[in-house]
Amino acid sequence: MFGNFLKSLTQPDPQPLNDGDARLALTALLVRLARTDGDYAPAEIERIDRISKARYGLDDAGAAELRTQAETLESEAPDTVRFTRAIKDAVPYDHRIGVIEALWSVALADGDRDQDENALMRMVASFLGVSDVDSAMARQRMAKK
């Protein structure tokens, strides 16, 4: 279903993503994080939908549709390293910090900081080119919410 989209993401020199593709790719990354611990919890699903509604101005149905598409994309996407690096190449730095905030929000949604989620967050931040300091600050901001 997403073969051409994934192919474009993993090209040696990907083009910047249009708004719709960026939404989909970033939401798929949120889904990947939520699934990392083997418990795709309702609180995480709700958080992903809430993030989509807030970031993209979607209603409940639109957020659910985006998440459903992102779940499919996530299951078809390449390994996290290539997927995340492709997003890095296509998304400006300030938007990547917003992605890290959203990821931390999902990781913290179920009230359990799983070691697999922590490890994925460290890897994703690194591959997105976001410093440890910026990631830690994003985590602290999301923990306060």
Domains and CATH numbers, the chain: 17-144 (1.10.3680.10)
Can you tell me which residue has the tokens 């499919």?
A: 72
Residue 130 has pLDDT above 80, yes or no: yes
| pLDDT for 134 | 95
Digit-coded pLDDT (tens) for 25-76: 889 989 999 998 888 999 999 999 999 999 899 999 999 999 999 999 888 8
- Residue 10: the pLDDT is 62
For the chain, the average pLDDT equals 86
Average pLDDT over residues 73-88: 78
Q: Is the pLDDT of residue 78 over 70?
A: no
Read off the amino acid at residue 4. N
Say yes or no to pLDDT of 13 above 80: no
3-class DSSP state of 3: helix
Distance CA 38, CA 101 (A): 21
Percent helix / strand / coil, the chain, rounded to 5: 75, 0, 25
